[in-house]
Amino acid sequence: NPTAHHQSGPAHVPPREPACHQWVNWPMSSFEPRPEHHFTFGLWTVGNTGRDPFGHEVRPPLDPADAVHHLADLGAYGVNFHDNDLVPHGSTSAERARIITRFRTALDATGLKVPMATTNLFSLPVFRAGAVTANDPDVRRFAVAKTFDAIGLAAELGAEVYVMWGGREGVEAEAATDVRLALDRYKEAVDLCCEHIRHHGYGMRIALEPKPNEPRGDMFLPTVGHALAFIGELEWPDMVGLNPEFAHETMSGLNFTHAVAQALWHRKLFHIDLNAQRIGRYDQDFRFGSEGIRDAFHLVRLLESSGWDGMRHFDAHAYRTEDRDGVWEFARGCMRTYLILAEKARRFDDDPEIADALAVAGVADLALPTSPGGTGAEAREELRRAAAGLDEAALATRGHGHERLDQLVTELLLGVR
């Protein structure tokens, strides 16, 4: 009787049972990161102090040498940095030398490498209206000179890839820039860096990193596609490629795997930033695979099946909820998820039912040329004749089995295959 129950008052409501969680004790598997997997992290990633636009730091700064030792213990291959992650802005040359010696000692002790380095062209107030695309030529000269110094530091520590992320290249007040001129200046800066690298014989390649917005309202070179087109206008296009980031293409609502595939197709994938991101949000830089696990799977499958021999770099950071232990859980999680997905990708290729579904979908037929005779007049005539003999209605009505194929992907990822 609900009325009686109501009248009996809260004192008679039985106390809530404590929630009981009986988790399976998952056995330790073989997904142990090792240097040969080529996993790398930035000093700014594991060293992220949890500061955000609304809140202060929640973790103390991480000493670069400590970062090196921890990453090596976790099985990473390398560590990357911005000039000022390692050598704080304004350091004297004596301080610079001392810092580098200490860092190099840690690298030598652990065998960790520095495959990539970059310049911080976004934190200093001087870059508030842009760095290499600022309207003020003095700011641009300051930015390019800082980049030359950072390239020198990168070379000193053996980096082979130099990343250019234009964090402040962009605008909020549209009338305050001229995009065509800004691109002239962007090109000028990249050309200057290429000449600088060539002059010193550093043998380094430059990887441009696109991002649509944040911290600027609109940023120049917003997507992989924009950057690929831009490279064609450079003085040394062969020296310049892409460093696409999972979160950045996803922020644009684009398919990151397709962006990476196209960069590979143009032979322009020089480096990659792995993390996780939900569409329509701020730049989240979450642990790899923590969002969009299917997208992460397709990406790993692409990288692994394409024979990508570059770095698997995680440009991500631990949640702000975490202490130092949580940071190392985060780093380990990025690498383990990658390895688990690589294993799933191999299983995908070995699964007979999936092979059958792929055959029904005709995926392998995409490798067959549309015009086997080429593009000449005779071949075009042949193509016409072949098309004329086709049964359009039969082609139009058949199903392609994508539902079954896609469900098989889901079941593989959910661990029931």
* Count of residues in contact with ligand GLT, rule CB under 6 A: 9
Chain mean position to CA 195: 27
CB 127 within 8 A of CB 82: no
How many residues are listed for the chain in this entry? Answer: 417
> What is the distance in angstroms between the CA of the first residue and the CA of the last residue of the chain?
50
Quote the crossing angle between the two packed helices 324-350 and 64-74, to the nearest 10°: 40
Among residue numbers 307 through 336, which ones bind ligand GLT (CB under 6 A)? 315
Residue 199 known to be catalytic? no
CB atoms < 10 A from the CB of 212, how many? 20
Site string (274-293) toward ligand GLT, x via CB under 6 A: --------------------
Rounded to a whole number of angstroms, the minimum distance from the CB of residue 101 to ligand GLT is 25
Q: Which of 70, 82, 271, 317 is catalytic?
A: 82
In the complex with ligand GLT, the residue whose CB is nearer, 169 or 245, is: 245
Pairing relationship of beta strands 312-314 and 273-274 according to DSSP bridges: parallel
In 297-317, which positions are buried (b, 16+ CB within 10 angstroms) versus exposed (e)?
bbbbbbbbeeebebbbbbbbb
Count of H helices and E strands in the chain? 16, 10
Q: Which stretch binds Mn ion (CB under 5 A): 41-49, 60-68, 97-105, 313-321?
A: 313-321
Q: Is 214 one of the binding residues for Mn ion (CB under 5 A)? A: no
Closest CA to 213 of 186, 185, 253, 181: 253
Choose which of 85, 273, 291, 295 interacts with ligand GLT (CB under 6 A): 273
Q: How many angstroms separate the CA atoms of 261 and 306, rounded?
A: 9
Q: What is the radius of gyration, based on Cα positions, of the chain? A: 26
CB atoms < 10 A from the CB of 24, how many? 5
Q: Is 291 one of the binding residues for Mn ion (CB under 5 A)? A: no
Choose which of 283, 329, 382, 411 interacts with Mn ion (CB under 5 A): 283
Q: Is 252 one of the binding residues for ligand GLT (CB under 6 A)? A: no
Q: Which stretch binds Mn ion (CB under 5 A): 237-245, 249-257, 368-376, 395-403?
A: 237-245
In the complex with ligand GLT, the residue whose CB is nearer, 143 or 163, is: 163
Residue 108 known to be catalytic? no
Q: Is 246 one of the binding residues for ligand GLT (CB under 6 A)? A: no
Rounded to a whole number of angstroms, the minimum distance from the CB of residue 340 to Mn ion is 23
Among residue numbers 38 through 57, which ones bind Mn ion (CB under 5 A)? none
Pairing relationship of beta strands 170-171 and 78-82 according to DSSP bridges: unpaired
Q: Is 44 one of the binding residues for ligand GLT (CB under 6 A)? A: yes
| DSSP three-state, residue 124 | coil
In the complex with ligand GLT, the residue whose CB is nearer, 38 or 82, is: 82
Q: Is 169 one of the binding residues for ligand GLT (CB under 6 A)? A: no
The residue whose Cβ lies closest to ligand GLT is: 165
Q: Is 118 one of the binding residues for ligand GLT (CB under 6 A)? A: yes
Q: Is 127 one of the binding residues for ligand GLT (CB under 6 A)? A: no
Among residue numbers 200 through 229, which ones bind ligand GLT (CB under 6 A)? 209
Choose which of 83, 85, 169, 245 interacts with Mn ion (CB under 5 A): 245
CB atoms < 10 A from the CB of 129, how many? 18
Q: Which of 83, 85, 273, 295 is catalytic?
A: 85
Q: Is 285 one of the binding residues for Mn ion (CB under 5 A)? A: yes
Q: Is 169 one of the binding residues for Mn ion (CB under 5 A)? A: no
Site string (360-399) toward ligand GLT, x via CB under 6 A: ----------------------------------------
249 binds, among ligand GLT, Mn ion, none (CB under 5 to 8 A by kind): none
* Phi-psi domain of 162 (left: phi exceeds 0; alpha: psi -120 through 50; beta: other): beta
* Count of residues in contact with Mn ion, rule CB under 5 A: 6
Half-sphere exposure of 280 (CA within 13 A, CB side): 0
Q: Is 245 one of the binding residues for ligand GLT (CB under 6 A)? A: yes
Q: Which stretch binds Mn ion (CB under 5 A): 41-49, 89-97, 217-225, 284-292?
A: 284-292
In the complex with ligand GLT, the residue whose CB is nearer, 245 or 249, is: 245
The catalytic residue positions are 82, 85
Name the residues that contact ligand GLT, by CB under 6 A. Answer: 44, 82, 118, 163, 165, 209, 245, 273, 315
